[in-house]
Structure 1
Amino acid sequence: MADHDLSRLKIDRSATAAPGARVRPRRRWLRYAGIALILLAVLGIAVRLAGPRSVQTTTVTSAYPTQNFTLLNATGYVVPQRKAAVASKAQGRLEWLGVLEGSRVKKDEVIARLESKDVSASFAQAQAQVKVAQANLALQQAELKDAEVNLRRSEILIVPNAISRNQYDADVARYHKARASVSSSQASIASAQANARAAEVAVEQTVVRAPFDGVVLVKHANVGDNITPFSAAADTKGAIVTIADMETLEVEADVAESNIARIHPGQPCELLLDALPGVRLAGQVSRIVPTVDRSKATVLVKVRFVDRDARVLPDMSAKIAFLSRAATAQDRQPVIAAQPAAVVMRDGRPVVYVVRDGKAHETPVKTGDKLGELVAVQGVKPGDVLVLSPGDKLGDGDRVTPAKP
């Protein structure tokens, strides 16, 4: 009995050990999760700090020294000073056309013909009338010669009264009549010849010739079209082609009247055409049209080409730089230039940071004269992308990304 009671006094640890075994692993996993979150936050901050820097960029370009003595810039278009819409004074159907757009023609070269059967027939008739008049003149001259012989005979015979006075008077009248007939025939010939010339002109008007040396710009009519230059009838054409003299090309530009005092005839200019990038042509102010456009408050200025290029065509857009002095050969050579803010000093020397493969590469350069808002640099090439205004913290090889505008 006593033994049985003592056994009941023992502590049973199995009941208390089970709850503890469940608590400890749970706390351990919570501790691991907290550490993991801290590590992830630190890693994110490190990745963010080590990522590429956003920077403003600029591009190396080519500039010209003429920018330093440019007084004014303007835009305009190339136009020919001599240009003509060629047509015929005659009316008729276009029978032959010998040119196309771009064809070069010489002065008085035949470029088209109209149907000319009717005027050719009139010309032939007029020529026949001339021959008839000439034949009549020959007949009247023969009659005059015969009348003159009879009159001389009558003058001899009238003295001894070998012929009557009436016969003598008749011979005199016949002589004067023959002379008048000769004069009339001569006038008829002159009239017939004039009619023949008029008919010949009418035939010539059916032949269209180039008024000057030039190039065909536009073809307005085709073979079979009715040409009526002095009418606006339906389905008819006025001009056949438009021709321009390429030797008279010039640039017309509208300049604000507030700036016209800075321009004068003979002033040197530099011409840049959008169709010919990189080609700069010398020009000179030809004339200033002495009137102002009220609606735009501008004055028309015309600039002629000093340097000519066969690739320049009418209606090309052009930029004009009005210069304070004539550009030399050296002034017209391109110079590599960049924004001055892209050049910084590192260890007492000028450098730029070239963005390449997502990194900023420190590149030493030599700076030169200012070219407008740019500065001449050596050590880089046109097209290179530079970091604009790099800070002191930017170093060689740092990862960068261009900032979005």
Structure 2
Amino acid sequence: MKELRIQGNEREDHGGGPPAWVWVLVGVLVVLGLLAGGAWWWWTQSQVPEVATANAQARSGAGGGAVLQATGYVTARRSATVSTQITGTLTEVLFEEGDRIAKGQVLARLEDHALRAALDMARANVKSAQANIDAARAQLAQTQSDLRRQDELAASGMSTKQAAEQARTAVMTTAAQLEARRREADAATAQATQAQVNFDYTVVKAPFAGVITAKAAQVGEIVSPLSAGGGFTRTGVGTIVDMESLEVDVDVNEAYIGQVKGDMPAEAVLDAYPDWRIPAHVIAVVPAADRGKATVKVRVALEQKDQRVVPDMGVRVSFLAAKADAKTAPPPGVLVPKSAVTARDGVPVVFVVVGQNAAARKVKQGTPVGEQAVVLDGLKAGEPIVLDPPEQLVDGGPIKLKAGE
């Protein structure tokens, strides 16, 4: 009986692990899993809102209760762009930005060869005119002596009256010539004075003490008091600011301007130094309104001068009802921008930044102060908060801070 046999090359190999197609399938599944995970991560990151933040501010107790708040900028009442009074080429610029200068200090010099030559010529003309005066004076003395001799001779009969008259005429003529020389000397002196003034215009001096905030020209550039067009001629050398004249200009909504009075106590907080509170007071309410913004400008004096205060810094001013006693406790609560307060389920909340997430805090609000909301409970001064929280932001939700926050 013949046996049924299977050739060795036709047998199934049940040893040595799974077939190759299984490994291929596993690899494909792994790749798909990684792609799905990456897509999920990208989608979740794209759903994280990007938000701006600010810090909750403590309410001040330096004075009475704040009537309102307004924002503005530090300005200088005394500032000047220093230029030359004639057109010329700069040969020296003797300052740099940030330098403190004194009144009358030399800031720059112009090329002065032509004006120096004109001044030397004018001075020489003055000396020449003075010499002519001396010569005319000597000639007058001689004619006066001749007249005395002729008068003596005419009295003794040794000379004619005509000779005496001629001597008298010579004296009068010489006196007139002397007066003419004096007038010429006056004209020469005036020309020399004018030449000196023109020469002095080549030296640029500080009109008052202050700090250089801008250097507008370099050695070799042409400077002119008038714009020549084309951008090749400078109209200023530098800008000086009198730091003692710094004050604050704020725009107050015209609906609240009636609450601001002259000499009213106030408190200023610079955006750059939020923990530094500067005592201040109202200088004046400018009697003009901005139709576009519906605001009125108020000038506020800073009662503390400091090198940290520089022009164009942003500042927030709190107008105070009255000065308080040193033992008066600060008003309760903290100040936050109104945009930080939102509602969740009909309850006012503020989102506080905690790491990369936002925690919702239920808050109790007080009477707003200007553009600031007063939070009586639920927040502490200094805590970072989210401004304009988006609708999809929830308690504990992830956030991304905007660049620069």
Query: Given the two structures, how large is their TM-score scaled by the length of structure 2?
Result: 0.69
- State yes or no: 1:291 paired with 2:288: yes
* Match of residue 230 from structure 1: 226
- State yes or no: 1:240 paired with 2:225: no
CA contact (8 A) 2:81 2:238 kept: yes
Q: Distance in 1 between matches of 2:384 and 2:239?
A: 47
* Match of residue 146 from structure 1: 142
Cα deviation, 1:114-168, whole Å, max 9, x if unaligned, reads 1111111100000000000000001000000000101111111112321122211
Q: Distance in 1 between matches of 2:66 and 2:206?
A: 41
* Match of residue 161 from structure 2: 165
CA contact (8 A) 1:64 1:371 kept: no
* Match of residue 193 from structure 2: 197
Kindly tell me the number of residue pairs found equivalent between the two proteins.
307
CA contact (8 A) 1:336 1:377 kept: no
Supply the AA of the counterpart residue of 1:63: A
Supply the AA of the counterpart residue of 1:64: R
* Match of residue 84 from structure 2: 88
CA contact (8 A) 2:143 2:171 kept: yes
Aligned with 2:227: secondary structure?
Answer: coil
Q: Distance in 2 between matches of 1:124 and 1:233?
A: 34
Cα deviation, 1:1-59, whole Å, max 9, x if unaligned, reads xxxxxxxxxxxxxxxxxxxxxxxxxxxxxxxxxxxxxxxxxxxxxxxxxxxxxxxxxx9
Cα deviation, 1:236-281, whole Å, max 9, x if unaligned, reads 0011101010000011111222221111110111101011120010
* Match of residue 115 from structure 1: 111
Supply the AA of the counterpart residue of 2:59: Y
* Match of residue 64 from structure 1: 59
Distance change in 2, residues 1:156/1:338 (3 Å): closer
CA contact (8 A) 1:273 1:279 kept: yes
CA contact (8 A) 2:64 2:323 kept: no
* Match of residue 396 from structure 1: none
Which of 259, 262, 287 is the aligned partner of 1:262? 259
Which of 70, 77, 99 is the aligned partner of 2:73? 77
* Superposition pairs of residues 5-404 of structure 1, within 5 angstroms: 63-66=58-61, 69-234=65-230, 235-327=232-324, 329=326, 373-375=374-376, 383=383, 402=396
Q: Distance in 1 between matches of 2:206 and 2:398?
A: 59
More deviation, 111-120/284-293 = 284-293
Q: What are the ranges of 5 or more consecutive residues in structure 1 without an aligned counterpart?
A: 1-58, 340-353, 358-368, 386-400
Distance change in 2, residues 1:190/1:241 (3 Å): same
Distance change in 2, residues 1:270/1:332 (3 Å): farther
Supply the AA of the counterpart residue of 2:119: F
Cα deviation, 1:189-208, whole Å, max 9, x if unaligned, reads 11111110100000101100
| Larger of the two Rg values belongs to structure | 1
* Match of residue 13 from structure 2: none
CA contact (8 A) 2:260 2:319 kept: yes
Aligned with 1:292: secondary structure?
Answer: strand
Measure how far apart 1:96 and its partner are: 0.3
Q: What are the ranges of 5 or more consecutive residues in structure 2 without an aligned counterpart?
A: 1-53, 337-351, 356-365, 386-394, 400-405
Aligned with 1:158: secondary structure?
Answer: helix
CA contact (8 A) 2:271 2:314 kept: yes
Supply the AA of the counterpart residue of 1:143: Q
* Match of residue 12 from structure 1: none
* Match of residue 8 from structure 2: none
Q: Distance in 2 between matches of 1:194 and 1:338?
A: 69
Query: Given the two structures, how large is their TM-score scaled by the length of structure 1?
Result: 0.69
Distance change in 2, residues 1:245/1:381 (3 Å): closer
Q: Distance in 1 between matches of 2:281 and 2:180?
A: 65
Q: Distance in 2 between matches of 1:294 and 1:120?
A: 55
